[in-house]
Amino acid sequence: MKITILGAGAWGTALAIALTQRNDVMLWGRNADAMRELAAQRENLAYLPGFPLPPSLHLTADFAQAIAHVSAAPEQSLLVIASSVSGLRALAEQLRAHAIPNIVWLCKGLEEQTCLLPHQIVQEVLGDAVPAGALSGPSFAQEVAKGLPCALSFASHDNDLRERVVAAVHGGNIRIYSSDDLIGVEIGGAVKNILAIATGAADGLQLGLNARAALITRGLAEISRLGIALGGRAETFMGLSGVGDLILTCTGDLSRNRRVGLGLAQGKQLDLIVAELGHVAEGVRCAESVRALAARHGVDMPITDAVAGALFDGISVPEMVKLLLSRDPREE
């Protein structure tokens, strides 16, 4: 199958490495100089060092060429967007001038200004005519690039697209489970990043494994409450894109959002933490949006509120913990 991946960051590069084993893959990046370096080094030194690019992986900075790679035979192709949520709208608008077979996005989060989920952004820009869906679940780019086992969820309302994604991605050490609960899968992917910041902060304060387990468990309750209020299904949050992604992001040392929490617990300023990461931490970008969305729908999300307070309202991490511990008792 022909696959074009738009976005040569860590996750886009890792997926390109994995999928090139069984597909004809082209990786596009907007920075021509960076793509020339990738072609010369056959390695993404900026975002995914240590993982050689397969010889058969095509690289380009030419957007028209990247789209042409998948537009000739739409029934045998996939167009994958590997940008952050903040870059999704601009790429979707760029696609309006091209014949595109479908859209699969990898980003997890909400748009800051609009509080929209990724599928709502795509729908707003491109309408309903293009088959579209989200590939999500517990996945660190480094492990996918290394070929370690991984299980993901693909959510779409289009059955043919679900079958196409499974055919292209499922195999080897990657398993794909399909779903039509697009809202549930996207909410799980968005909110877990915020909860990973809380868990990182608790671990940074050395509050213990009991506290970590409590945060993960009560965090799952927050994900479920918001997801169901927005139209997602409860069972989705017990799957890969819910509890699976939550556990990985809250406990894995490769988690950028967890590292944000660890930095906050050390008293570092947010700007410095983000600069040290060198990558996007989506939990920072969407914490305020999720807090606003929850308030709009009357959903109680105390952990999310506390994280947003620590990020944007000047509340210290010890104060954040105190706020959570001082809450009145309630039924589970």
Contact 104, 165 (CB under 8 A): yes
Beta carbons of 182 and 157 less than 8 angstroms apart? yes
Lowest mean pLDDT among 49-53, 72-76, 223-227, 242-246: 72-76
In the block, residue with structure tokens 């999704």: 88
Whether the per-residue pLDDT at 328 is higher than 70: the answer is: no
Q: How confident is the model at residue 57 (pLDDT cuts 50, 70, 90)?
A: very high
Taking residues 104-121, what's their average pLDDT? 96
- Is the confidence at residue 326, as pLDDT, over 80? no
Decide if 2-180 and 190-325 have a common fold: no
Question: 72: pLDDT confidence band, cut at 50, 70 and 90?
Answer: confident
Please name which of 200, 196, 205 lies closest in space to residue 287, comparing C-alpha atoms.
Answer: 196
Buried b (16+ CB within 10 A) or exposed e, 135-164: bbbbbbbebbbeeeebbbbbbbebeebbeb
The pLDDT score that the predictor gives to residue 48 is 96
pLDDT, tens digit, 9 for 90 and up, residues 284-322? 989 999 999 999 999 999 999 999 999 999 999 998 888
Q: What percent of the chain has pLDDT over 70?
A: 99
Question: What does the DSSP 8-state code read for residue 236?
Answer: G
Give the pLDDT mean for 230-255: 97
CA distances from 121 to 118, 124, 125, 181, 270 (A): 5, 5, 6, 17, 27
Task: Provide CATH code, domain 190-325.
Answer: 1.10.1040.10
Identify whether the C-beta of residue 106 lies closer than 8 Å to the C-beta of residue 153: no
Q: What is the DSSP letter of 98?
A: S
In whole angstroms, give the CA distance from residue 183 to residue 297. 15
Residue 46 and residue 52: Cα distance in Å, rounded?
A: 13
Structure tokens at 100: 């595109």
- Residues serving a catalytic function are 192
Question: Is the pLDDT reported for residue 280 higher than 80?
Answer: no
Under a CB-based contact definition with an 8 Å cutoff, are residues 14 and 144 in contact? yes
Domain boundaries, the chain: 2-180, 190-325
d(CA 121, CA 132): 11
What does the block give as tokens for 104? 């699969």
Whole-number average pLDDT of the chain? 95
Find residue 134's DSSP bridge partners: 105, 155
Distance CA 134, CA 50 (A): 28
Q: How much is the average pLDDT of 186-193?
A: 97
Please state the CATH superfamily assignment of the domain spanning residues 2-180 in this structure: NAD(P)-binding Rossmann-like Domain (3.40.50.720)
CA atoms lying within 13 Å on the CB side of residue 107: 31
State the pLDDT confidence band at 88, using cuts at 50, 70 and 90: very high
User: Which amino acid, 127?
Assistant: G
| pLDDT over 90, % of the chain | 91
